[in-house]
Amino acid sequence: MTTKSFDKVAAVEQEDALHPPMVTVEIAGKPFQVPAGVTLMKALWHTGHEVTRGAGCLGGFCGACATYYRTKDDPKVKTCLACSHAVEDGMSFSFAPPFPARKATYDVTNIEDPKQALFDLYPEAPLCRNCNACTEACPQQIDVREGVWKAVFGDFKAVSETFMDCVMCGLCAPVCIADIVPNLVGVYASRAHGARELEPPSGLTDRIQAIAKGRYDDDWRRVLKMTDDELQQTSASITSAGKSG
Amino acid sequence: MDFQPLYDVVHASRDARLKYTPPRLSLADRDALIQRWHPDYREAAYRPIAFGPNAGDRTVRELAALLEGDSSIAGDLPLSPAHVVDVLVVGGGGAGCAAALHAHGQGANVLLATKLRLADSNSVMAQGGMQIAVAPDDSPVQHFLDTLKGGHMKNDHRLLKTMVEEGPSVAQWLLELGVLFDRNADGGLHVKKGGGSTRERLLTCSDYTGLEIMRVLKDEVLNRKIPLLEFSAAVELLSDEQGACAGAVLLDLDNKRHIVAAAKTVILATGGIGRLHIQGFPTSNHYGATGDGLALAYRIGVPLVQIDTFQYHPSGGVYPEQLVGQLVTEGIRSEGGHLVNAKGERFVNELDTRDVVASSIIRECEEGRGVRTATGRVGVWLDTPLLEVAQGAGTLDKHFPAMVRQYARYGVDIRTDPVLIYPTLHYQNGGAKIDVNGETPVRNLFAAGETSGGLHGRNRLMGNSLLDLMVFGKRSGMTAAARAAAIPQGMLTLNHLRRFREDAGKHGVTDRVVSPLVLPAYAGQP
């Protein structure tokens, strides 16, 4: 493999980049021409849409751009995140509107029986009828239905693992025929697992106390007196911490 | 385009590469490399600021224009408040949520305003982790020294000492709220080594650390029923007759009406500036990262520090086009992933500081050892399959599920093929000047997180941002709440804005952009 050969490839391909092939998409019912391969979000900007609601991190982590789309001739309406999904010719799409889901409120640090509390906070959670629409609606491919059942059965650790990918887009909520809000059930169970079921990590309290009691004060005095040159040389030579900390 | 022959170079060179690790650079070599290749040293990209608290200081042209820009509001805007609160928090990311929760915890009457939704932020995207000295062989002092070295010795010592010492208690607070940091088999906190660090110090929640923290903090803000204004951008601060901060004017982005909020204290937690696309760089930042807090703070008289230096994260996406500028987690390098040029060579110690690694990548590409894509972009390889080879099949699925998904969406399997990366505009190293409680020189005005400056010096160390947010969010929230309990609400005036406009006129600055920008103007761009 030489430098020459990939430059040649690039030269040919760049012709395409200068005149990208266009595809036709339908945005909220109106047809537009957009460059092939761009994200749905870039398609919106390309066609002059001002986006206020519907854009967030633009990196697939925040769920702000939850979108419904349908590909050519397919009756199935699917979901995606507009910031990280590419256009296809003949595709139709629209942002999902904000859904007025009910969120229960609670003090997670002060719940006596977290498993029982789930049924008080979200009494609809055990009413899942297994239709699987939530799982099909998830743009993160989370097995949402399974997550809800694990919550109902009290396996909050498994819930936290199932929902670790959840970007809280909320697309699972409008499709639920039992009015469950699966992502919020997931957050509750996950937080309850961390706050109420897991043991605090060993060593952390000791470190907090060591700092409070001045265990590092000698090191600090020494370090804070140093010139920049001395500090640069010091780097890894602070070893007493290992013994005392 | 067919990358297979190029992939083959990476696969074929892997065994040889594993036998040689490029050394960390000496301080002199590091400086020379950065001064030759780092974007902070491109003279033509900079100019002096014409007037205001930093008159005469150099910064990038995009930021200078923003700081000299004009407010969108009229000097005679009626100032009858719709909200009267103790603490107004501007921004709903990590620093804003932490500030609001801690101020609320102190009994303050808090209002949180954010221009997108609660938790839409850069914080939610943080993948690499959070540096906290919890390991037995580590200490806050070691964390301090590592950060100082990363920051080219230019960090504010007091801010930095405060941050590293409060790290462990912040970890405890998050654990109590239910944040699921990765654990070792014995239940202890699992720590990883980050670029520029001499100890294993990164707390992680797989590669969703920021998302996990923000899911929890957002949930907690909602549980506490802290009053919230979403899609409401701060467009001007308010000052009292003594020049102290007394509230803010918000713009409701849905109906374009102004909302006046009287507040005894204001905490700016507005994040960074990636969406200004400094020097034309793509960015890893979220949609709202337009540096609003810098412009607001500057107009009311806050000097900014170290605003001539920005962080270009070494690994921004290059291919596919949909991922351009988006962050590729540093965790891959932490776990031993190599950076590889088109010739199949390693060219930098992958765990060197971000500025060194970014400068090295730019050097490889400028000197013709980069890989060019169909759209004319250039980058170097991040050898992701190496982790599967070295640590066993399934390693990437287990430790980097977000990244596997990120690329699988576009048909790229990072378990079998390397990915192309190039530096992306990631972080504003400097910002509003603050003290250890997050207060700016303008009384009753606080700044926390990326919008503040001084802590990180000239280069932020990986994993220190999440900690910065939590520590200075907390300290500003608690200090603001205590202050608010002790003072009356000040008069609401726009005196500072009148003076700033006069100042612009005196300096003959006439062609002024509207500032803050609030959202980037992407609509209609090709």
Which residues of chain B are within 8 Å of residue A14 when distances are taken between CB atoms?
Answer: 374-376
pLDDT digits (tens, 9 = 90+) for A1-55: 333 333 433 333 444 444 678 999 999 999 999 988 889 999 999 999 999 999 9
Q: Which residue, of A95, A130, A149, is where some domain finishes? A: A95
Per-residue pLDDT, averaged over A99-128, amounts to: 97
Domain extent, residue A227, equals 211-244
Task: Please state the pTM of the whole predicted model.
Answer: 0.93
Annotated catalytic residue within B313, B415, B475, B496? B313
Q: Which two tokens stand for residue A198?
A: 């897991």
Domains of chain B: 4-37+311-425 (3.90.700.10), 100-309+429-498 (3.50.50.60)
Do A112 and A49 have their domain in common?
no
> Which residue of B1, B121, B522 is in closest CB contact with A13?
B1
CA B386 – CA B418 distance, rounded (Å): 9
Looking at the domain assignment, is residue A2 inside a domain? no
Tell me: pLDDT of A242 over 70: no
What 3-state class would DSSP assign to B166? helix
Tell me: pLDDT of A197 over 80: yes
Place of tokens 């192309």: B420
| Those residues with Cβ within 8 angstroms of residue B416's Cβ, 6 or more apart along the chain or in another chain | B385, B388
Q: Which residue, of A49, A64, A95, is where some domain finishes? A: A95
Report the residue of chain B nearest A184, measured CA to CA. B219
- Chain-chain contact of A7 with B372 (C-beta, under 8 angstroms): yes
Do A72 and A152 have their domain in common?
no
> Which residue of A50, A195, A216 is in closest CB contact with B141?
A216
Q: Which two tokens stand for residue B15?
A: 């065994």
Which residues of chain A are within 8 Å of residue B121 when distances are taken between CB atoms?
Answer: 57, 62
Is B483 a known active-site residue? no
Which residues of chain A are within 8 Å of residue B186 when distances are taken between CB atoms?
Answer: 202
Which residues of chain B are within 8 Å of residue A102 when distances are taken between CB atoms?
Answer: none
pLDDT at B286: 97
Looking at the domain assignment, is residue A22 inside a domain? yes
- Chain-chain contact of B219 with A195 (C-beta, under 8 angstroms): no
- Chain-chain contact of B153 with A195 (C-beta, under 8 angstroms): no
Per-residue pLDDT, averaged over B250-259, amounts to: 97
pLDDT digits (tens, 9 = 90+) for A147-191: 999 999 999 999 999 999 999 999 999 999 999 999 999 999 999
Closest CA–CA distance from residue B147 to any residue of chain A (Å): 10
Do A120 and A180 have their domain in common?
yes
Do A47 and A82 have their domain in common?
yes
Looking at the domain assignment, is residue A12 inside a domain? no
CB of B328 closer than 8 Å to CB of B419 = yes
Per-residue pLDDT, averaged over A49-65, amounts to: 94
Q: Which two tokens stand for residue B125?
A: 């995207």
Per-residue pLDDT, averaged over B445-453, amounts to: 98
- Chain-chain contact of B523 with A109 (C-beta, under 8 angstroms): no
Which residues of chain A are within 8 Å of residue B426 when distances are taken between CB atoms?
Answer: none
| Those residues with Cβ within 8 angstroms of residue A94's Cβ, 6 or more apart along the chain or in another chain | A27, A28, A29, A67, A68, A69
Place of tokens 């230096």: B309
- Chain-chain contact of A56 with B212 (C-beta, under 8 angstroms): no
Looking at the structure of chain A, the number of domains it has is: 3
Nearest to B313 by CA among B420, B427, B454, B209: B427
Do A192 and A112 have their domain in common?
yes
pLDDT at A232: 83
Q: Which two tokens stand for residue A62?
A: 């925040």
pLDDT digits (tens, 9 = 90+) for B135-164: 999 999 999 999 999 899 999 999 999 999
Looking at the domain assignment, is residue A221 inside a domain? yes
pLDDT at B127: 85
Do A58 and A127 have their domain in common?
no
> Which residue of B6, B140, B212 is in closest CB contact with A1?
B6
At B526, is the pLDDT very low, low, confident or very high (cuts 50, 70, 90)?
A: low
Is B38 a known active-site residue? no
A-to-B residue pairs, Cβ atoms closer than 8 angstroms: 253
Choose the mutation target among B97, B212, B215 for the interface with A, i.e. most A CBs under 10 Å: B215
- Chain-chain contact of B9 with A1 (C-beta, under 8 angstroms): yes
Closest CA–CA distance from residue B275 to any residue of chain A (Å): 11
CATH number at residue A37: 3.10.20.740
Looking at the domain assignment, is residue A164 inside a domain? yes
| Those residues with Cβ within 8 angstroms of residue A59's Cβ, 6 or more apart along the chain or in another chain | A83, A84, B125, B284, B286, B326, B327
Torsion of CA B296, B298, B301, B303, to 10 degrees: 140
Report the residue of chain B nearest A185, measured CA to CA. B219
DSSP A64: T
- Chain-chain contact of A164 with B376 (C-beta, under 8 angstroms): no
Do A237 and A157 have their domain in common?
no
pLDDT at A6: 36
Looking at the domain assignment, is residue A46 inside a domain? yes
At A208, is the pLDDT very low, low, confident or very high (cuts 50, 70, 90)?
A: very high
Do A135 and A72 have their domain in common?
no
Annotated catalytic residue within B333, B363, B475, B496? B333
Do A175 and A238 have their domain in common?
no
Q: Which residue, of A95, A121, A150, is where some domain finishes? A: A95
- Chain-chain contact of B287 with A5 (C-beta, under 8 angstroms): no
Report the residue of chain B nearest A201, measured CA to CA. B188
* pLDDT > 70 in chain A, percent: 88
Which residues of chain A are within 8 Å of residue B141 when distances are taken between CB atoms?
Answer: 216, 219-220, 223, 238, 241
> Which residue of B210, B322, B368 is in closest CB contact with A84?
B322
pLDDT digits (tens, 9 = 90+) for B267-290: 999 999 999 999 989 999 999 999
Tell me: pLDDT of B408 over 70: yes
Cis peptide leading into B320, omega within 30 of 0? yes
Looking at the domain assignment, is residue A204 inside a domain? no
pLDDT at A243: 33
- Chain-chain contact of A62 with B119 (C-beta, under 8 angstroms): yes
Tell me: pLDDT of B316 over 80: yes
Looking at the domain assignment, is residue A203 inside a domain? no
